[in-house]
Structure 1
Amino acid sequence: TQSLTVRELLMKMKELLLFLSCVLCVSADGQHSDIKIAGCSDSYGEDVYALDGEEIAYADFNKQKEIYPQPPFVDPMTVTGAYEQAVANQQICRANMQNSRKGMKDFPLERDAPSAVMIYTRDEVEFGEENTLICHVTGFYPAPVNVSWTKNKEKVTGSSINVPYINKDGTFTQISRLDFTPQLGDTYSCKVEHLALTEPATKFYVVEASAQPDSGVGPSVFCGVGLTLGLVGVAVGTFFLIKGNECS
C-alpha cells in the first residue's frame, strides 16, 4: 500500500469532516415530531395522529369514519383501513383498562382541572360581519371537557369542538368554536365542565362599541407623529447651528 504524506492525510481528514458536517445538517433539517394517541374510558374513546403539533387524522366514533382535518392548500392524505384499526384499538384499550383495574384494585385516577380557559374572536370584530368565537381550554386531565355556549343568557347550538390534543406535560387541550355575527351589547359565554371542577368555569365575551374601528383614529395618529417628528427636526437643526457658530 502507498503511504500518505502528512499533507494528504490532513486533506483526507478535512474531506471527512466536511462530509460529516453535511450529514449532520441534512439530519437536523429533516427532523419532525409526530404523535399517535389511542385512549379510552368507560364513556369515551380517542384515536388521533398528529405531525409537528398539527392534527393529521382522527377517528370520529359518532360518524363512524376517519376524519382528515387538513387545509385545502395541502395534498390530501388518507389511510386505508384507518377507522377499522381505530375501532380495534378501542377494544384492546378497554380490555387493558379492565385488567389494570383488577391489578390496581380500581385505583382512582389523578385529575387536573383546566389551568386556563380563554375566550376570543378569530378575526378583528366589525359589527354585522360574520366571525367566530373561540373558547380555548388547556391543562386538564383526563380528557375530555364539555363546552356549552350562551348568547344573552340563552343557550345556543351549532358550536363545534376538536378532539382532545395532548400537551407535552401529559395534560390535554380542546378548542370549541361558535360562529356569530357581532351586534353591539350582545354577551356570549362559554361554560366548561370537567371531572376535576367542583363548578363549571365560565368565560364571557361582550360586544362593545370599542370593537367598531374609529375612522378618525388613523388621521389623528399620523398628524401627531408628523408634528412630533417636525419638532425633533427643528431641535436638531438648532443644535447644529449653535455648534457651527461656536466653531467659527
Structure 2
Amino acid sequence: MKMKLLLFLCSVLWTSADGSAPVLHEDLAMTGCSDSDGEKMFALDAEEIWFADFKKGEGVYPQPPFIDPIRYQEGVYESAVANQQICRTNLQIRREAMKGTPLKRDPPSTPMLYTRDEVELGEKNILICHVSGFYPAPVNVSWTKNGQKVTEGTSINVPYPSKDSTFTQISRLDFIPQLGDIYSCSVEHPALTEPHTKIFDVELNNPQPSVGPAVFCGVGLTIGLLGVAVGTFFLIKGNECS
C-alpha cells in the first residue's frame, strides 16, 4: 500500500470583547494528497466549515445555511487545486527520504453507530457511523441493509485530525426505518486484519411506544392507592383517640 502524506497548518486565534479575558479559538487548515486523490479543509473549533471536493470540482460548505456560516473569497478552490501539485511534489521527496522506514499504523476503535434523530418508523432519518483513533488516513466505510450492500444515500467526510495525531471520520446513510430491517457499518483500515462491523437493528432499537405510558400509569396508580391506604389508616386512628 502506498504511503499517503498529509500536511497540516494550524493557527490559534485570541479574541476578547469589552475588555474581557481572551477567548481561545483553534483555526485549522489541512492539506493532504496521495497519487490518486487529495484533501483541502478548513475548520474552526473542531467544526468543519469548508472542504474541496476534487471529484465534483468545487468547494463545499457542509454547515447548514441557517447558522450563517463563514464564507471565503473567490478563488479558494482554485488555490486548493494548485496546492495539490505542490503536495504531490513534496510527497515524492518524502518517499525518497523515508524509503525503508516502517509506516506507523494505528487501528481504528470499534465504530459508534447511531441515528441522527429519534427513530420513528416510516420517517426519514440518518444513520451515523463514527470512526476514530486511526492512522494513517483514510478508512474505508461500507454499508449493508438486510445483508445487501448499500451505496445510494451514503456519504463520508474528509479525515479530521485529532490532537494525538490520529484521525476521525464520519460516514452517513440516509434511511427510512422499518421494523425488522438490519443495517451494518463496516470499517476497513490497513492496521486491521479484518473489518470492524457494527449492527443496527431497527426493531431492537425502537421500543414499543405503549411501554412508556403503561409504566407511567402503573406507577401513578400504585402511588394513588398507597395514598388512599395511608389516609384511611390515620382517619381510623383519629376516631379511636376521640
Same fold (TM over 0.5): yes
Structure 1 residue 102 corresponds to structure 2 residue 96: yes
Q: Cα distance, 1:233 vs. partner? A: 10
Structure 1 residue 208 corresponds to structure 2 residue 190: no
For 1:193, the aligned partner's letter is E
Whether the aligned pair in 2 keeps the contact of 1:35 and 1:50 (CA below 8 Å) is: yes
Q: Which has the larger radius of gyration?
A: 1
Structure 1 residue 74 corresponds to structure 2 residue 59: no
Structure number having the greater strand percentage: 2
2-side partners of 1:31 and 1:81: how far apart? 29
2-side partners of 1:102 and 1:216: how far apart? 64
Q: Which of 30, 36, 57 is the equivalent residue of 1:43?
A: 36
> For 1:191-215, what per-residue CA distance to the aligned partner results, in whole angstroms no more than 9, with x for missing partners?
1111211221111111216614422
**1:153-164 to 2 correspondences below 5 Å:** 153-158=147-152, 159-164=154-159
Q: Which of 141, 160, 164 is the equivalent residue of 2:135?
A: 141
> Relative to structure 1, is the Cα distance of residues 25 and 138 closer, same or farther in structure 2, using a 3 angstrom cutoff?
farther
2-side partners of 1:88 and 1:61: how far apart? 12
**1:158-177 to 2 correspondences below 5 Å:** 158=152, 159-177=154-172
Whether the aligned pair in 2 keeps the contact of 1:145 and 1:192 (CA below 8 Å) is: yes
Corresponding residue for 1:31?
24
For 1:177, the aligned partner's letter is R
- Match of 1:43, SS? coil
> For 1:121-157, what per-residue CA distance to the aligned partner results, in whole angstroms no more than 9, with x for missing partners?
1112122222111111111111111111111111112
Structure number having the greater helix percentage: 1
Q: Which of 125, 144, 157 is the equivalent residue of 1:131?
A: 125
> Relative to structure 1, is the Cα distance of residues 25 and 213 closer, same or farther in structure 2, using a 3 angstrom cutoff?
farther
2-side partners of 1:229 and 1:170: how far apart? 58
Q: Cα distance, 1:187 vs. partner? A: 1.1
- Match of 1:211, SS? coil
For 2:196, the aligned partner's letter is A
> For 1:51-85, what per-residue CA distance to the aligned partner results, in whole angstroms no more than 9, with x for missing partners?
01100111111111111112121224133211111
Whether the aligned pair in 1 keeps the contact of 2:110 and 2:196 (CA below 8 Å) is: no
Corresponding residue for 1:189?
184
Whether the aligned pair in 2 keeps the contact of 1:131 and 1:180 (CA below 8 Å) is: yes
Q: Which of 47, 57, 61 is the equivalent residue of 1:64?
A: 57
Corresponding residue for 1:13?
none
- Match of 2:25, SS? coil
* TM-score, normalisation: structure 2: 0.79
Whether the aligned pair in 2 keeps the contact of 1:187 and 1:207 (CA below 8 Å) is: yes
- Count, aligned residues: 218
| Bigger Cα displacement from structure 2, 139-148 vs 216-225 | 216-225
> Relative to structure 1, is the Cα distance of residues 229 and 46 closer, same or farther in structure 2, using a 3 angstrom cutoff?
farther
Listed as ranges, the gaps of 5+ residues in structure 1 are 1-21, 243-248
User: Sequence identity of aligned pairs in percent?
Assistant: 57
For 2:187, the aligned partner's letter is V
Q: Which of 150, 161, 164 is the equivalent residue of 2:144?
A: 150
> For 1:161-190, what per-residue CA distance to the aligned partner results, in whole angstroms no more than 9, with x for missing partners?
111111111111111111111111111111
> Relative to structure 1, is the Cα distance of residues 164 and 208 closer, same or farther in structure 2, using a 3 angstrom cutoff?
same
For 1:55, the aligned partner's letter is E
